Amino acid sequence: MLPGTLLVIQIDAAINGGNSGGPAFDASDRVVGVAFQGIDNAQNIGYLIPASLARTYLASTSSGVTKFNLVDVPFRAQRLENRGLRRFLKVPDGTSGAVVVAVSPLSALAPTDAEGAIADGANASALRIHDVVTAIDGQDVGDDLTVELRPGERVQVDSLITHKVAGTMTELQILRGGQPLTLRAELAPLAPLLPRWHGFDCSPEWVVIGGLVFVPLTAPLIDEASRGEAGLATSAYNMYTQVYGEHGFRTDPNREIVILITVLSGGDVNHGYGSYSLSWKELVTFNGETVQSLAALHASWQRAASADFLEFGFGAAETAWHRSIVLDGALVRESEEQLLALHGIPAGASKGVLARTHKFALQAADGASVIVPLDREGERRPKSVLGLSRVRDT
């Protein structure tokens, strides 16, 4: 779920606790990188962020930007080593490159539809499926998805893009049906498929309704769930593969994936659903309305506080897997405080969710269109029964 492959430098000097963020020099006293990682129980193995990427960071934050995002690679590619594939794509002998298999619909290189087709008069910079990228900014791309770093040393082609300052013009030389073309676009960070890092673009959040615990799906949550001897549970793995899909590009920047993480025991309100096979399943609808985010779910729950029944839909209605949980509205209201106290949960929703729900209410009162803001200001919470990831300061 990273923006793409990033370059790092491995050195044979030890990096210990407290060294991270310090400069590393070569024999000529030039800064070659910034220390950031060592390996436990290994001697004299350390890693640096290259100076080129540090310069990108400085250039990106010089204008007052407080959160630095790397430029994402806006396409997925496969190798061009097979002779039949080369003939099919009409690639001349002596020409190397990478075959485009997907393009982010949110990027400046996006085609007009999922098939990569481009209508007359559409964006001339659009990249299509089956295009062959032969060079990026003048650097030849190898059939094995690498570029030359220096004589005798090659690195992943992604690094030509991920080290760029957002908004920098990028030039792609491509073959389309055997014909050479040049595409130019200003590339930028893309909305990630899932929030990536605690304290940067996500923090633990939750909403509890009738003992059903809903959380946003994040990379740290998946990482936490994979810890332990058993590894990632089948239900969590299936959720990950469903969301990641074939190429892992986000299609709607305003939608947050909300999942049911667990069902709290106690009382009759959710009796019969405790062993329900819906853990780690995506919540799609609430009382017939599409769920756009965790805060939007909470806002809908507040509006439906007097409803006789609460229906939670999992899986698209047109699919064979669609399931529902239906709770008695009166029982939900009566049991809320008891369930929260029983499981040591401080509130029915996290601080960040409550703040955004309030914002939704103000927007609705003004008649404004409610768009889900995905930036978070929620405080960190203990893991507890919520299944939320631990936060470790470094």
Give the residue from 43, 68, 93 where a domain finishes. Answer: 68
- For residues 330 and 110, give the distance between their C-alpha atoms in angstroms, rounded to a whole number: 48
Same domain flag for 135 and 244: no
Instruction: Check whether 297 has a pLDDT greater than 60.
Output: yes
Same domain flag for 269 and 239: yes
Same domain flag for 350 and 211: yes
The predicted structure's pLDDT at residue 122: 45
- For residues 273 and 260, give the distance between their C-alpha atoms in angstroms, rounded to a whole number: 12
Give the residue from 15, 47, 68 where a domain finishes. Answer: 68
- For residues 127 and 93, give the distance between their C-alpha atoms in angstroms, rounded to a whole number: 23
Structural contact between residues 37 and 47, judged by C-beta atoms closer than 8 angstroms: yes
Same domain flag for 43 and 78: no
- For residues 37 and 68, give the distance between their C-alpha atoms in angstroms, rounded to a whole number: 19
Q: Pairing mode, if any, of strands 212-216 and 258-263? A: antiparallel
CATH, residue 51 = 2.40.10.10
The structure tokens 């009162």 sit at: 365
Percent of all residues in the chain with a pLDDT value above 90, rounded to a whole number: 48
Same domain flag for 276 and 352: yes
Same domain flag for 343 and 242: yes
- pLDDT, tens digit, for every residue of 309-349? 999 998 765 555 678 999 999 999 999 999 999 999 999 99
Same domain flag for 88 and 152: yes
The predicted structure's pLDDT at residue 330: 94
Q: State the average pLDDT over residues 205-224.
A: 92
Same domain flag for 243 and 352: yes
- For residues 91 and 179, give the distance between their C-alpha atoms in angstroms, rounded to a whole number: 9
DSSP letter for each residue of 94-152:
T---EEEEEE-TTSTT--SSTT----TTS-TT---TT-EEEEETTEEPPTTSEEEEETT
Query: Is residue 393 in some structural domain?
Result: no
Same domain flag for 248 and 137: no
The structure tokens 């000529």 sit at: 28
- For residues 18 and 52, give the distance between their C-alpha atoms in angstroms, rounded to a whole number: 23
The structure tokens 């779910």 sit at: 297
Give residue 84's domain range.
69-190
- Which of 59-63, 239-243, 280-284: highest mean pLDDT? 280-284
User: What mean pLDDT, rounded, does the chain reach?
Assistant: 83
- pLDDT, tens digit, for every residue of 219-265? 889 888 887 666 667 777 777 777 777 667 888 888 899 999 999 98
Cα torsion angle, 364, 368, 372, 373, sign: negative
Same domain flag for 29 and 56: yes
Same domain flag for 309 and 350: yes
Structural contact between residues 93 and 136, judged by C-beta atoms closer than 8 angstroms: no
Structural contact between residues 259 and 283, judged by C-beta atoms closer than 8 angstroms: yes
Q: Pairing mode, if any, of strands 132-136 and 139-140? A: antiparallel
The predicted structure's pLDDT at residue 124: 59
Our count of domains for the chain comes to 3
Q: State the average pLDDT over residues 156-164.
A: 92
First to last CA, the chain: 21
* Model pTM score: 0.77
- pLDDT, tens digit, for every residue of 63-72? 666 667 789 9
Query: Is residue 390 in some structural domain?
Result: no
CATH, residue 284 = 3.20.190.20
Same domain flag for 45 and 144: no
